[in-house]
């Protein structure tokens, strides 16, 4: 398989090359900036100290910012299952989108086409285990790529985890409250899936952020940070062995 990409190297990466086998994650981001050119400038400027391996433009074109075997600086403080500092283990993909603070918009068809093509290429090449969003590995700090990201569509093409439940039935228990016991069961499921159990400072606020991260990934129709029956059933299904 071949991918078409333009080179526009960023200086923001670790000079030491990593081993091929160390790459286990794909992490998706949105740029969170209105202007695409400015977003590329930021990711390639020494001052910003941020980068990613790939950048997907509004028109679907792909740019390589950092070669895959170098650690790029996209994830920050992050964790998933037993893994910490996910930069070390991941390929970071930035997608042009103004984000929640600037009129968050749908990803374009051309972008989605490129996301799928690039993901399939990387999954095959590195035998990638985890395909996640920034908010999954840093739920207390990040919202990207957000609830408009096409997780369900990607999963039908065998990219990323999804559940196996009847959606119509599920939607009937949306916003249906659950008891304390079920709330705890849901949170346990989250930790089992891979979300961090470490709640920094404000426990109440951070629990809601964790629930929102789950919703942005698996229940995009309602992002309210509250555990309901639909969320519980999805999490049960995802942890079923
Ligand atoms: Zn991000």
Query: Residue 66: which of 119, 7, 108 has the closest Cα?
Result: 7
Question: Is residue 199 pLDDT above 70, yes or no?
Answer: no
* Torsion over CA: 194, 197, 202, 207 (sign): positive
pLDDT tens digits, 112-124:
999 999 999 999 9
Distance between CA atoms of 71 and 14, rounded to whole angstroms? 5
Q: Are 186 and 178 in contact (CB under 8 A)?
A: yes
Of residues 202 and 227, more confidence is placed in 227
Question: Is residue 8 pLDDT above 90, yes or no?
Answer: yes
pLDDT tens digits, 59-76:
999 999 999 999 999 999
Instruction: Find the 134 Cα to ligand 1 centroid distance in Å.
Output: 5
94 has catalytic annotation:
yes
Choice among 94, 147, 183, 230 that is catalytic: 94
Instruction: Find the 234 Cα to ligand 1 centroid distance in Å.
Output: 25
Q: Are 28 and 56 in contact (CB under 8 A)?
A: no
Q: Report the pLDDT value the prediction gives residue 200, as an integer from 0 to 100.
A: 67
Instruction: Find the 181 Cα to ligand 1 centroid distance in Å.
Output: 33
126 beta partners: none
């Amino acid at each position: 398989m071949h991918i078409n990409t333009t080179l526009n190297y960023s200086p923001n990466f670790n000079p030491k090359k990593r081993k091929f086998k160390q790459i286990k994650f794909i992490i998706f981001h949105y740029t969170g900036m209105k202007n695409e050119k400015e977003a590329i400038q930021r990711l390639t400027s020494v001052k910003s100290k941020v980068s990613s391996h790939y950048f997907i433009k509004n028109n679907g074109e792909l740019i390589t910012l950092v070669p895959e075997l170098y650690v790029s600086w996209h994830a920050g403080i992050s964790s998933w299952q037993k893994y910490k500092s996910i930069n070390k283990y991941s390929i970071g993909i930035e997608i042009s989108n103004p984000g929640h603070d600037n009129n968050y918009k749908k990803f374009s068809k051309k972008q989605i086409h490129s996301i799928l093509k690039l993901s399939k290429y990387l999954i095959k090449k590195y035998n990638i285990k985890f395909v996640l969003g920034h908010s999954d590995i840093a739920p207390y700090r990040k919202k990207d790529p957000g609830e408009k990201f096409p997780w369900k569509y990607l999963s039908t093409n065998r990219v990323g985890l999804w559940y196996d439940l009847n959606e119509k039935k599920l939607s009937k228990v949306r916003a249906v409250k659950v008891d304390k016991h079920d709330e705890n069961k849901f949170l346990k499921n989250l930790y089992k899936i891979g979300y961090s159990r470490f709640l920094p400072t404000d426990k109440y606020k951070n629990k809601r952020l964790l629930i929102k991260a789950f919703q942005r990934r698996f229940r995009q129709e309602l992002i309210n940070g509250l555990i309901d029956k639909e969320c519980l059933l999805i999490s049960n299904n995802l942890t079923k062995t």
